[in-house]
Amino acid sequence: MIIILKSEAAKEDADEILAQIEAAGLKPLYMPGSERVVLGAIGDERVLGQLHLDSHPMVESVKAILSPYKLVTRDVHPHDHVVELGHGVSIGGGTFTVIGGPCAIESLEQMRATAVKVKEAGGLALRGGAFKPRTSPYSFQGLGLEGLEILKQVSDELSMPSFTEVVEVADVEVVHDHASGFQVGARSMQNFRLLKALGETRKPVLLKRGMAAKIDDLLNAAEYILSGGNEDVILCERGITTFETATRNTLDLNAIPVLKKKSHLPVIVDPSHGIGIREFVIPMALAAVACGADGVIVETHIDPAKALSDGKQSLYPEQFADMVKRVRAVAEAVGKTCP
């Protein structure tokens, strides 16, 4: 439920109502606006009815939250949520953030050399997979713990935050200890046990849309994480499966304005997996910025021809640098700031 207070309501009135909500076993939310204070109560609406808040002298109106994803919806959080990644880098709230790095961490030399290029180009955060969920069991599966250690070492050396994929609940702790944020891959978007485990952590979660998931499925998956108490979710469009075979996936840019309207969470785009072909990654990154993305996550490799995974879609370092320059220009043209 959303509880809109009268304009003359004081902070004490809000506190008193929030205490009633909490005492009834519901989750209270405080959402001060520019004109009115708005409160939220998440939980069994019959219990809330028993509080008769609509007759409270300081309450103007009580409305149901119609959305099934009650914490993710913009209805209860009208302002953009900003996710802090560490090292002074954030995503959301009017800034534009570039995350770059290889698909997979292959060695200290490869990760370090690629990361140095990402930083020089103006990339603000690193990516790199240590646990790689590959379509074929015979493809490179990642370096596991050794990869996580390399990622941590490189991100410490360069003072850059890092994302890496977590594929199972048993790995949450070790990934937590080595990276600034978790990546949930497209294949895991509806691994609800994993989402619940990430809800209990307090590190950012970059949640990728499943290849056959609807926008609402993605928002419900995010709700799993928020309902555990972790509010720092970044939604990521990475392409969906369609009848098209000329590209690896179909990057659904429709999702960007729709997600931005429905949710206060930051939304980023992965054009690398979205189109899957190196020469088309930059145009799709530019398009993503133009339609409102808060950032892009792009695969780049010091030597893409030798990459053990996703080399075909990985940018050469010079291309990555060119992309950063151009996405920044578009970001500024659409009113974002580029730190």
- By the criterion CB under 6 A, which residues form the site for ligand PEP? 103, 129, 185-187, 208, 238, 273
Nearer to ligand PEP, 17 or 130 (CB): 130
- Asked whether position 103 contacts Mn ion by CB under 5 A, the answer is yes
Question: Residue 66 corresponds to which tokens in the numbers above?
Answer: 């119609």
Shortest separation between residue 145's beta carbon and ligand PEP, angstroms: 18
The three-state secondary structure class of 59 is strand
If the CB atoms of residues 11 and 214 are measured against ligand PEP, the closer one turns out to be 214
The listed partner (ligand PEP, Mn ion, none) that binds 77, CB under 5 to 8 Å by sort, is none
Which of 269, 301, 231, 255 has its CA nearest to residue 98?
269
Nearer to Mn ion, 294 or 310 (CB): 310
Q: With CB cut-offs between 5 and 8 Å by kind, which of ligand PEP, Mn ion, none does residue 185 bind?
A: ligand PEP
From the list 138-146, 151-159, 164-172, 304-312, the region that binds Mn ion by CB under 5 A is: 304-312
Residue 159 beta carbon to Mn ion: minimum distance, rounded to whole angstroms: 25
User: How many angstroms separate the CA atoms of 100 and 122, rounded?
Assistant: 10
Give, in order, the Cα–Cα distances in Å from 19 to each of 40, 47, 54, 57: 12, 14, 16, 16
Residue (of 256, 275, 262) closest to 313 by Cα position: 275
**Minimum distance of ligand PEP from residue 35's CB (angstroms):** 41
Report the residue closest to Mn ion, judged by CB: 103
Subset of 11-70 contacting Mn ion (CB under 5 A): none
Asked whether the beta carbons of 18 and 10 are under 8 A apart, the reply is: no
Residue nearest to ligand PEP (CB): 185
Only segment of 52-60, 188-196, 216-224, 303-311 that touches Mn ion (CB under 5 A): 303-311
Q: Which residues of 240-279 are buried (b: 16+ CB within 10 A; e: fewer)?
A: beeeeeeebbbbbbebbebbbebbbbbbbbbbbbbbbebe
From the list ligand PEP, Mn ion, none, pick the one residue 17 interacts with, judged by a Cβ distance below 5 to 8 Å according to partner type. Answer: none
Q: Which does 210 bind (CB under 5 to 8 A by kind): Mn ion, ligand PEP, none?
A: none
Task: Return the bridge partners of 37, or none.
Answer: 32
Beta strands in the chain (DSSP E): 2-5, 27-32, 37-42, 59-63, 83-86, 89-91, 97-101, 125-127, 162-165, 181-184, 205-208, 233-237, 267-269, 295-299
Over its C-alpha atoms, the chain yields an Rg (Å, rounded) of 21
Residue 106 lies near Mn ion (rule: CB under 5 A): no
Return d(Cα 194, Cα 188) in angstroms, integer: 8
CB of residue 62 vs ligand PEP: minimum separation in angstroms?
A: 41
The reply on whether position 310 binds Mn ion by CB under 5 A is yes
DSSP summary character for residue 54: G
The residue (of 260 and 273) whose beta carbon lies closer to ligand PEP is 273
238 binds, among ligand PEP, Mn ion, none (CB under 5 to 8 A by kind): ligand PEP
In the complex, which residues of this chain contact Mn ion (CB under 5 A)? 103, 310
